[in-house]
Chains A and B, each alone.
Chain A
Amino acid sequence: MYDSGKVIIGLVIFVAIATFPFWFGMGKAAPMPEPVIMTKGQKCVESKDYMRASHMYLLNVWRDQALRDGNRVYENKRGEKVTISLQNTCMKCHSNKEKFCDRCHDYAEVKPYCWDCHFVPKESKQWN
Chain B
Amino acid sequence: MELKRRDFLKIVGGSALIGGSAISALVEEAGIAHASPHEEHGHSAEEDHGHGHIEEASGIRWAMVVDMRKCSEQEGCRDCINACHYVHNVPNFPDPKEEVKWIWKDEYHHVFTDISTLDPYVPEHIKRHPFLVLCNHCDNPPCVRVCPTKATFKRPDGIVAMDYHRCIGCRFCMAACPYGSRSFNWRDPRLGLKGRELNYEFPTRMRGVVEKCNFCVERLAQGKIPACVEACKHGALTFGNLADPNSEVRALLRENYALRRKPQLGTKPSVFYIIA
Contact = CB atoms under 8 A, between A and B. Distances in A.
| Interface secondary structure of B, over-half rule | loop
Contact of B217 (A70, A121, A128): A70
Contacts of B156: 70
A67 B163 contact: yes
Interface stretch (A14-22, A26-34, A42-50, A111-119): A111-119
A124 B221 contact: no
A87 B198 contact: no
A119 B203 CA distance: 6
Nearest to B162: A67
A70 B153 CA distance: 12
Contacts of A119: 198, 200, 203-204
Contact of B153 (A68, A113, A127): A68
| Interface secondary structure of A, over-half rule | helix
Chain B: interface residue count, which band?
A: 20 to 34
B204 A117 contact: yes
Nearest to A84: B221
Contacts of B202: 87
Interface in A87-128: 87-88, 113, 116-119, 121, 124, 127-128
A127 B156 CA distance: 38
A70 B221 contact: yes
B200 A128 contact: no
B233 interface: no
A119 B221 CA distance: 20
A67 B201 contact: no
B86 interface: no
Q: List the 6 shortest-distance A-B pairs measured between CB atoms, nearest first.
A: A116-B206, A117-B203, A118-B203, A72-B221, A119-B200, A67-B163
30 contacts: A63-B165, A67-B161, A67-B163, A67-B165, A68-B153, A68-B161, A68-B163, A70-B156, A70-B221, A72-B221, A87-B200, A87-B201, A87-B202, A87-B203, A88-B201, A113-B206, A116-B206, A117-B203, A117-B204, A119-B200, A121-B200, A124-B198, A124-B200, A127-B190, A128-B190, A128-B193, A128-B194, A128-B195, A128-B196, A128-B198
